[in-house]
Amino acid sequence: MQQAPRARVARRPVHGVLLLDKPLGWSSNDALQKVKWLLRAEKAGHTGTLDPLATGVLPLCFGAATKFSQLQLDADKTYEAVARLGIKTSTGDAEGDVIETRPVNLSAGDLEKVAARFTGPIQQTPPMHSALKKDGKALYEYARAGIEVEREPRAVTIHELKVTLASDSNAQPAIKMIVKCSKGTYIRTLGEDIGEALGCGAHLSALRRTETGGFPERQCVTLEALEAMNDDERLTCVMPVDSLLQGHVVVTLDEDNAGRFLSGLRRRGNWPDAAQVAVYGPKTALLGTAHIRGGELIPGRLLSPLEVRESSAQHTLTALPVTRLAETEQI
């Protein structure tokens, strides 16, 4: 029996950020495509991958918000993880084959020492089972072919690390880690390295991202909840584009200067230097980002005039303290 052709989804412009609580077993891209389909969005992108075995905060960007996704890629992140002690695996997590077992004999003092040792700037060797590329090829592709390649250690920073004794889901000896870290940190590798420092080895058995770039897990929505919503309800889960611009200095331009700024022209005013600036036009419409140097407002990533209109219509932007343009002239 021939199947009926699948109905095409009528796409629409959607601008903003949706915080998804990524479910276990889903890749970041699969989750993105599912939410994009549910929202009927024209354009979408995520802000860095979260392993299929991980759950938690995954910001998804739509429309104009994709222009600012790098800010989340660069942001600090917080994780909760469980590492099973006494067993090392080929992948550093529960999916790999067991390659070594050791007895576990630890005290609370041992955990305090290891937490102090791994707090601050550290060097990490990226795992073979990762998406990092070597000669244009992802490391996991080499690993699947049974090839191990040399990897250069990378500098990362562990801002905060709490390690406590725990049990995994099978009531086996484990440690629970709460980690606040810089971008590029591999929690799987951190778990393995801590296991080695404790003398018993370890592999990661559970991982959850609880915060990224100022977005906590309590603001997230699940896929199940999204599926149960209607179109209008789903759209209310999409936060404004400028939610990605937390901590930016805010400058508001009048209509004439807003138009010139959107065309890429610098504006001049009485502002102090600032590295990160969110620029708004009339009616608090986000125009884009900039930086200020020597009294010049220098455009960065800009929305198109159509994106400005569409995103303004979609959201009622929260009023923020603004620095009013005092004197302007075309540059």
187-197 vs 108-117: helix crossing angle, rounded to 10:
130
Closest-CA residue to 66 (of 183, 221, 241, 236)? 241
Buried residues in 234-268 as b, exposed as e (16+ CB within 10 A): bbebbbbbbbbbeebbbbbbeeebbebbbeeebbb
Please state the pTM of the whole predicted model: 0.88
pLDDT at residue 4 tops 60: no
Site of tokens 């699969």: 30
* pLDDT 10s digits, 237-269: 999 999 999 999 999 999 999 999 999 999 999
Q: Give how far Cα 270 sits from Cα of 11, 149, 217, 324, Å.
A: 43, 54, 39, 9
* pLDDT 10s digits, 133-147: 777 777 777 777 777
Query: What domains can you pick out in the chain, each with its CATH number?
Result: 16-74+214-236 (3.30.2350.10), 77-212 (3.30.2350.10), 247-324 (2.30.130.10)
Residues with active-site annotation: 51
- The average pLDDT across 169-175 equals 88
Cα dihedral 264, 265, 269, 273 sign = positive
* pLDDT 10s digits, 81-109: 999 999 999 989 998 999 999 999 988 89
pLDDT at residue 281 tops 70: yes
Beta bridge mates, 297: 267, 292
